[in-house]
Structure 1
């Protein structure tokens, strides 16, 4: 069994986020959506799973006393044959279709007025898969250590948006070079082909600064035949698993209790690690069968809706999103507002409840929805 000391991880997290509260004791409940377990390139044309939907891990939490939710279950008026509440029992279809559901509207308003708070980690698979190119370029660059995090995130978003625009050709390139396992004798040709894919965008204002900066740093990387973070990995495997996202939550809120839906692969990984804090073993999580725990079931409803929202955001432009939100029916607006208010309420309680691995452009579209509904 591997022993893992988390004191340094906790300290580093607090240093990077000095204004966030990680010490208060909460009880977290988790479910996940879009858990494809492993993302890899199957051929030059595509991936084994859709990259338009984020993996979302999250749910609800409470501080102090556990709430009684009997009135919620009664008010949902579900069929008596349903033994486990899931999003599909309250709403079906894509994000906008789900907003038509009166049951979902009731559920979200109930949560808004309860002592429960929402939390989630949302990971964009394409963004996650390509940002190591930027990190590798920075590592090999003479300007390493001189760039602030905002500029770096801007570079990552530039590369992400370009990869979305040229996804078929990027996929073909990645497949041919066994990305993220580029060989040292292929670094030069990989970089040349990658930058050539985006040459037509270099004179466009929105891409010019980011793309020229990335190209300059990649040019330095070719001199060393190295892109550290996309070498010596498994051929074509972009995401091996989601274990470290589960693990992050456990050490981030060390003083809290974490109750997770049973996911056998995650249980196997967790059982292989003995956690210690300042040398003292500790365990702050447990796995439960969702059929026996109502709050895990309710977490399925929430993270399922967040997952559908991610697909809506990732596949539409800001102009399209504004049109769709503006044209919602009264019922859809009511449901959306309740959903957004749950997030606002939870964010005001503790901004550390939300964690996004995503491009700035996608996060801006998320903020746009809030602004359109009057929540800034």
Structure 2
């Protein structure tokens, strides 16, 4: 089946650098395959951040250097067939951040003018944002599209702080397969949940979310993006994110690590851009150094974004205040890689998460000040 790239990745005038002939290598981390509601919560123990990305070669530097020297520098065992994060550093993010081998790896990328690219996805937030999206699609609520991110942020903040109760409420309504005769009751229950478990000190976005949910519970009988779905199935696969990245850089050549589930899901798709085929391939990482390097950077980023999601703002402030010199050096190197990559294309750095998470990440990496309402949350 042929699909136009513009259908999979809608043109956005704010994006730049997406039409160049890059060579993009990919790996992924925390692909849970499917996310489902169960009687006692979810089918997985923990919602770690899904990251799809890796390294990017630009037209000016489109040849990957030999990695044998890097293997030696990182002391990769001679019997190890490929470079992987677990051979460089293990443990939680704080421990990995202190690794001198991570310093050497990030420095090597920078010295060889290799960029990075990624999509970072908060899978729980992705699973519930259609509540606000569906309301904003209604004619009487089109105005909230101007601040829909703030509303989604508040809903996620309340839901994640009281997750077991929120998931139980969703399951009781067969979410995301909402019947028309149950839609108002679902919206009413969501409103009551936000009122009951919302922050004691309400910011304007919290107040507006309550107002919108209450109004919608009295007026809306069908949610545009939450019907005719499979009950209790929050995410049925991650193939859409692979296709989106292929379509987002239609003149690039894409090399993905072999992943049978994804390969089968998109095997029938031919992505077309201006009558030309967009080239993407699934390759064996052992034979593809670019994918091996992508394993390391994506594994590192997966640890980082999960750390950001799981760490409260105040604890983040405390942790940042006592970072070791090695940890600070690696933050500086990661910041350099992200800034350089963003300069090439602002779509290399793609975050699908909440406003609060983005603010925490910008504080930790780029020293941007955290708003008071985030610190109090």
- Superposition TM-score, scaled by structure 2 size: 0.91
Q: 1:70: Cα distance to partner?
A: 2.9
Contact preservation (8 Å) 1:51, 1:124: no
* 1:132 equivalent in structure 2: 130
Cα deviation, 1:40-72, whole Å, max 9, x if unaligned, reads 1122x3111245411000000111331313321
Give the whole-Å Cα distance in 2 for the aligned partners of 1:143 and 1:163. Answer: 22
- Aligned residue number for residue 367 of structure 1: 362
Structure 1 segments unaligned to the other structure (5+ residues) = none
1:259 to 252, 255, 258: 255
1:56 aligned residue: 51
What is the deviation of 1:342?
1.5
Mapping 1:99-114, distance limit 5 Å: 99-114=97-112
Partner residue, 1:317: 312
Q: Quick one: structure 1 residues 245 and 289, their matched pair in 2 at CA, closer, same or farther if it must change by over 3 Å?
A: same
Cα offset, 1:26, TM superposition: 0.5
Q: Could you tell me which residue of structure 2 aligns to residue 6 of structure 1?
A: 5
- Selected match of 1:329 from 324, 342, 356: 324
Aligned to 2:337: 342
Contact 1:141 1:217 in 2 (8 A): no
Which of 288, 293, 296 does residue 283 from structure 2 map onto?
288
Whole-angstrom distance in 2 between the partners of 1:57 and 1:323: 30
Greater shift, 86-95 or 187-196, is seen at: 187-196
Structure 1 residue 89 and structure 2 residue 87: aligned? Answer: yes
- Pick one of 55, 66, 69 that aligns with 2:63: 66
Picking from 284, 289, 296, the partner of 1:301 is 296
Counterparts of 1:208 and 1:372, CA distance in 2: 25
CA contact (8 A) 2:23 2:252 kept: yes
Q: Would the alpha carbon gap of residues 241 and 74 (structure 1) be closer, same or farther in structure 2, given more than 3 Å must change? A: same
Structure 2: tracts of 5 or more residues without a match: 370-377
- Greater mean deviation of Cα atoms: 240-249 or 198-207: 198-207
CA RMSD of aligned residues (A): 2.1
Distance 1:23 1:31 in 2: 22
Q: Answer yes or no: is the 8 Å Cα contact 1:158–1:211 preserved in 2.
A: no
Aligned residues: 366
Q: Secondary structure at the match of 2:140?
A: coil
- Secondary structure, in 3 states, of the residue corresponding to 2:270? strand
How far 1:39 sits from its partner (Å)? 0.6
